[in-house]
A and B are shown apart, each in its own frame.
Chain A
Amino acid sequence: MSKPTDLVQGTLDLLVLKILALQPLHGWALSQRLKQVSGEVLQVSDGSLYPALHKLEQQGWIHSEWKPTENNRRAKFYSLTRLGKRHLEREAANWERISTAISQVVRLTEIS
C-alpha cells in the first residue's frame, strides 16, 4: 500500500483544494482531474485520495453532499467552504514564496 509521504500529502491537499475551488466534484472526477493536471508526477493510488478528502472535511476546509448524477445514480460531491477558500489563498501564497525561494537556490548552485 503506497502511503503518500509528508511532502506529497501537503501537496495533495493543496491540489485538491485548488481543483475544488474551480468547481464541486465527486471523488472519481476529482481523481481524474488530478491525473490530468499533475500528469505522472503524483504517483499515488486512487484510493489514497479518500483519507485526504475526509481529513480536509473534518478540518472544515471542504464540505460534502450527496447529489444525484446521470442514470439515477448519486455521488458524494465535495465543494470548498468559505474557510477553505481563505486557507487555499494563504497556502497558495506560502507555496509561491517557498517554491520561488527554492528555485532561486537551485539556480544559484547551477551558476556556481
Chain B
Amino acid sequence: MMRFENWLYTLPLRVRSLVLRRRQNADLHEELLDHIDRQIEENVAHGMREEEARQAAVRAFGNLVAVREQTHDSWPWVSLERLGQDFLYAFRQTRRSPGFAAVAISTLALGIGAATALFTVVDHVILQPIAYKDPGRLVQILKISQYFPTGTEPDWTDIEQWMNQSRSFESMAYWLRMRGRGNFLVKEPISLEIRGTRVSTNFFETLGVRPEIGRDFVSEEPSKAAGSVVISDALWRTAFAAEKGIVGSAIRINDKSYTVIGVMPPGFSFPANSNDQPQVWVPIDPAADEVASQKSGEDAAGVYYFVLARLRPGVTLADAQTEMNMIQRRVAAQYRNPEYGKDQAGAQLTPYEQTLVRASVREALLALLGASLGLWLIAVVNVTGLLLARAASRQREIAMRSALGASLGRVLQRMLVEGLLLSGAASLLGLGLSIASVKLLARQLKDYLPLGAPPFVPDISILLGLLSMTLLTAAMATVWPAWMAARAPIEPALRQGGQQAGTGRHQHRVRGVLVSIEIAMSLTLLVSCGLLLRTIYTLRQVPLGFRVDHILVASLDIPRYRFAGHDLMSALYQPLLERVQQMRGIEAAGLMSRVPLGPGETVGLGIPDNGKVTSAAVGVVSPQVQRILGMHMLVGRFFNGDDTPGSDAKVVVNRAFAQAYAPDKRELASVIGMDMWQLKKGRPLHIVGVLDDQHAFSIAAPSFPEAEVCTCQLTPDVDLYGLANSEMQLLIRSSRPEKDIVPELRTLLRQAAPELEQVDISTMEQIVEDSYGSQRLAAHLLAGFGGAALLLCVAGIYGLLAYVVAQRTHELGIRIALGASRVNILWMVMRQAGTMLLFGVAMGAVNSWLSSRFVRSFLYGVRAHDGWTLASAAVVLCACGLFAAYIPARRATRVDLVVALHSE
C-alpha cells in the first residue's frame, strides 16, 4: 500500500482530480494527441509523406481508447464512479423485480431486527461499564454459609479484622442501604422520595470517583463525618435547581438534619442499578451502630454490612479468594457461637459487576441473543438461496458481460453492491422493528431486568453493530452466488437460448443443502420454544397455595419521618385499614409485610437448635389476610381478634417449618405450643398454627420454612417492628372491578399521607404473572423467533421447489407426454421436499440436543432433552414443509403439455 508520506503528498492532487474530473479527461486527451502530433512531425522530418506519417504514428501509439481506459484506472475517482454506477444499476435491478426485493428485504429485516433488539438489551444490561474507575477490580465479599446459600454479610468485627489482615486489596469499604424504602428529603409542600445509602468514609475513594462539587468523607474519623451528606447530581438538579452554593447548607432527610458536603458527578449512582433516582450517601459510624443495636436489647442482633473492596493491581480474584478464606477461617474460629463459626468459616468474593445482574438473567439474555442470531442466520441462508436462483436466471447477462471484458472483480463487485443495497434497506427496516419491539417489551423488561428498560433510541455502539451486521449480511448472502455466477463458463451460457435447462443439478443440490440447513436451525429454535411453552404450562399448573382472584395489593412506601415517634400501627395502619374496610364493596382488607411471590420484606432469623442452626423467613400479617388469600390451615388456628398487644405472643408457621423443626417429624401437630424466638425480651413466641405451604418466593422453588407474627402484637418496642417501619403491603379483596376501586383507594391513601398517593398498586393476578419473569419473557421471544423461523423455512422450501418446477416445465412436459402419471410427477416433487426435510430434521435434532443446555436454566417440570418436545416440533416443521412443497408439486402435475413442449 501507499506510504503515508506519499499519501499526504498526493492528497491535493487527488482532491483536484476528484473536483476537476472533466478537466482531467480533456487534459489527457490533449496530452495524447500532442504525442501523436509530435510523432507525425518527427516522421515527416524523416521524409515521410503527411498521410503515411500519420498512419505510422497512430500505429506506433497503439489503441488510443485502451490507453485512455488504462490511464483512467490509475485515477482515484474512477473506482468511486464505478461504485456509483453499480449502485444505480443495482437500484434499477431491484426496482425491476419488486417482488423479489420485498421478500429478500423483509426476510433480512426480520433477522436483523431481532438480533438488534436483543443486542440493545444485552448491551444495556451486560456490556455497558459502570461509571466507576476500573470497575472490573471491584469485588463484593460475603461470608459463606450453608443456611444462606447466597452468602451472608459480615459485621463490623469481621470487617475490622479483614481490613487489618488482608493484603490483596487497595482499599476495603462497606455500605448498607438506609433502612428499607420510604426515605424522604423533607421539603414543603411535598417531600421527595430518595434512595439513601450509608457508606464507610473511604467509600468514594474505593470506587475511584470524586464529587463534582465539594468533597467526600475521605480521611475523616467516622465520628467526625457524622451529620454530613453527599448528594447525587439528580437530586441536586431536581430539588435544589442545580444551585452551586448547596455545599455547606443543611438539608433534612427523614427525621435528621445533615450538612451537604459534596455533589457527585452526573451519571454516578450507587448501588449501580439505581438509575437516575435521586440519591444521598451518609457516613457509617460502626461504633454508633453497635451502640444503637445493643440498645435495642437483643444481643444476637448486630449490624451487617456489604463489603466492597478494590483488588490491588496484579492480584487475581482467585488469589484474593484464597487469602480471604484463610483470614475468615481464623476470624470465625473466635465466634462466640461455635455453630456460626463452623458455618461461616470462609469468604465468598464476587466481582461487583456480577452482583448487579443475576447469573440466570445473564445466561438467559445471552441464550436469547444466540437464538436471535440463529434467526438472523436462517434469514441470511434464505436470501442466499434466493440470490442463487436469481444469479442462475441471470447467467446469460453475466456471461455476456464477462465476454465483453468485465473482469471477475467487476462482476463480483456489482453483485456485492446489489446485496449491500438489499441488506442496507433491510437494516433500516430492521432498526425500526427493533425499536418497536424493545418499546413493546419495555414493561416486561423493566420488571425483569435489574437496570431498567433500555433506551429506545439506539446508541452509537448499537449503530456500529448494525453497520457491521449489514456488511456481513451482504457479504454472506452474495459472495457465494456471485462467485458461482462469475466463475461459470461463459460459452455454454451464451450458446443456450432463453432459459437454460442445465443450470444444473449442482445448483439445485446446493440450494437444497441451504434449505436443509434452514430447517435444521428452525427446528432448534422450535424445540427451545416448545420447552419453554411446556415450562410455562407446567408452572401454571402448580398449586399456589393461595387465591389470586379479586385481590389488589398496594405497596405502602411510607414517609417514616412523618410518623417519627409515633406507633405506626395505631397512627397510620389501623386507621387506614378501617377506612379502607368502609369502602363500598370491600370484602376484607389486611396488611402483610411480604406478599407471596410479590413485593415486600421478611427477616431471616436463625434458630439455634441442638447444635444445628436453621433459619426461617419471618414476616408480619394481619388476621384478615387468611381470608383474603384463602390460606389453608393444616393444624391449629390463625390470628384473630383475641390476639392483642397484651396477650400471649403468638406465631403461625408453615408446613415446611413444621417439617424441619417439629419434635416428632411424623406428626406436624407436635410443633404446636413450641416456643420459638422472642417477640421481645421475656416474651417467647408460642406456635399456635401450621399453614399449608405457599409458593412464597418462586413458583419453581420448593417452600422455605416461614413464620408469621400478627400485626396486632407489633408495638414499637418489638424487634420485628422494623418490618412495619419499612414497607407494608395493603391487601384488599373486593368483587368490584379494579379500575373502580383504585381511584377511591388513592384518595384514601392521600388523606393518610400525601406521599402515599403514588404508591404501586397491582392485582394479585399480575403479581403471579410477573413472577414467571424470565420464563415468560424467554417463551414470548422464543415463540416469536420460532414462528419467524418456521415462516422462513416454508418460504425457503416453497421458493426452491417453485423455481425447480418452473425450470423443469419442459422436462415435465416430456415425461407426461411419455406417459408419466400425475401421481408420479407429484411424488417426484414431494420426494425432493421430503429429502430436504429429512436431512434438515436429522441435523436439527442433533443441534437441538447439543444446544438445549443453554435453556436448561429456564426449564421447570420438563427435561432439557425432551423427546416429546423434539418430536412435536419436528412434526410441525415437516407438516408445514410438506404443505409448502405441495403447492408447486400440484402445479407440476397441471403442466399443460402444449405449453411445456413449446417452452423452449
Cβ–Cβ contact A45 & B60, under 8 A:
yes
Interfacial chain A residues near B61, Cβ < 8 Å = 45-47
Give the contacting residue for A1; candidates B7, B30, B62, B73; CB below 8 A. B62
Residue of B nearest to A66 (CB): B27
Interface membership of chain A positions 52-63, coded 1 if the CB is closer than 8 angstroms to chain B and 0 otherwise? 001101111100
Cβ–Cβ contact B73 & A51, under 8 A:
yes
Main secondary structure of the interface of A (DSSP, over half): helix
Interfacial chain B residues near A48, Cβ < 8 Å = 62, 67, 70
Interfacial chain A residues near B73, Cβ < 8 Å = 51
> Closest Cβ of chain A: how far from B2's Cβ, in Å?
7
Which B58-95 residues have C-beta < 8 A from chain A? 60-64, 66-67, 70-71, 73-76
Interfacial chain A residues near B71, Cβ < 8 Å = 50-51, 54
> Closest Cβ of chain B: how far from A94's Cβ, in Å?
16
Cβ–Cβ contact A2 & B62, under 8 A:
yes
Residue B133 lies at the interface, judged by CB distance under 8 Å to chain A: no
Cβ–Cβ contact A46 & B14, under 8 A:
no
Cβ–Cβ contact B6 & A75, under 8 A:
no
Instruction: Count A interface residues, CB 8 Å.
Output: 26
Interfacial chain B residues near A73, Cβ < 8 Å = 34
> Closest Cβ of chain A: how far from B426's Cβ, in Å?
37
Which A28-42 residues have C-beta < 8 A from chain B? 28, 31-32
Residue B851 lies at the interface, judged by CB distance under 8 Å to chain A: no
Residue A27 lies at the interface, judged by CB distance under 8 Å to chain B: yes
Cβ–Cβ contact A58 & B75, under 8 A:
yes
Interfacial chain B residues near A57, Cβ < 8 Å = 10, 13
Residue B38 lies at the interface, judged by CB distance under 8 Å to chain A: yes
Cβ–Cβ contact A58 & B74, under 8 A:
yes
Cβ–Cβ contact A83 & B31, under 8 A:
no
Interfacial chain A residues near B75, Cβ < 8 Å = 54, 58
> Closest Cβ of chain B: how far from A4's Cβ, in Å?
10
Cβ–Cβ contact B6 & A46, under 8 A:
no
Interchain CA distance A3-B63 in the complex, whole Å: 11
Residue B39 lies at the interface, judged by CB distance under 8 Å to chain A: yes
Which B5-28 residues have C-beta < 8 A from chain A? 5-7, 9-10, 13-14, 27-28
Interfacial chain A residues near B167, Cβ < 8 Å = none
> Closest Cβ of chain B: how far from A25's Cβ, in Å?
12
Cβ–Cβ contact B10 & A58, under 8 A:
yes
Interfacial chain B residues near A45, Cβ < 8 Å = 60-62
Interchain CA distance A91-B829 in the complex, whole Å: 66
> Closest Cβ of chain A: how far from B561's Cβ, in Å?
76
Cβ–Cβ contact A81 & B67, under 8 A:
no
Interfacial chain A residues near B30, Cβ < 8 Å = 76
**A28, A47, A50, A54 — most chain B CB neighbours (10 Å):** A47
Cβ–Cβ contact B60 & A46, under 8 A:
yes
Cβ–Cβ contact B74 & A81, under 8 A:
no
Cβ–Cβ contact B74 & A55, under 8 A:
yes
Interchain CA distance A35-B186 in the complex, whole Å: 97
Residue B35 lies at the interface, judged by CB distance under 8 Å to chain A: yes
Residue B32 lies at the interface, judged by CB distance under 8 Å to chain A: yes
Cβ–Cβ contact A47 & B34, under 8 A:
no
Interchain CA distance A32-B43 in the complex, whole Å: 12
> Closest Cβ of chain A: how far from B844's Cβ, in Å?
51
Which B27-67 residues have C-beta < 8 A from chain A? 27-28, 30-32, 34-35, 38-39, 42, 60-64, 66-67
Give the contacting residue for B31; candidates A46, A50, A58; CB below 8 A. A50
> Closest Cβ of chain A: how far from B79's Cβ, in Å?
12
> Closest Cβ of chain A: how far from B35's Cβ, in Å?
5
A47-B74 contact given A60-B10, A81-B9, CB 8 Å threshold = no
Cβ–Cβ contact B10 & A47, under 8 A:
no
Cβ–Cβ contact B6 & A47, under 8 A:
no
Give the contacting residue for B63; candidates A26, A47, A81; CB below 8 A. A47
Residue of A nearest to B57 (CB): A46
- Ordered by A's residue number, 18 sampled pairs between the chains whose C-beta atoms are within 8 Å are A46-B35, A46-B61, A47-B63, A48-B62, A50-B32, A51-B74, A54-B75, A58-B14, A58-B74, A58-B75, A58-B76, A59-B10, A60-B2, A60-B6, A60-B9, A61-B6, A76-B27, A83-B5
Besides A54-B71, A57-B10, A59-B6, 15 more A-B contacts (Cβ < 8 Å) are: A3-B70, A26-B34, A28-B38, A32-B42, A45-B60, A46-B35, A46-B61, A47-B61, A47-B63, A48-B67, A50-B70, A51-B71, A60-B5, A75-B31, A76-B27
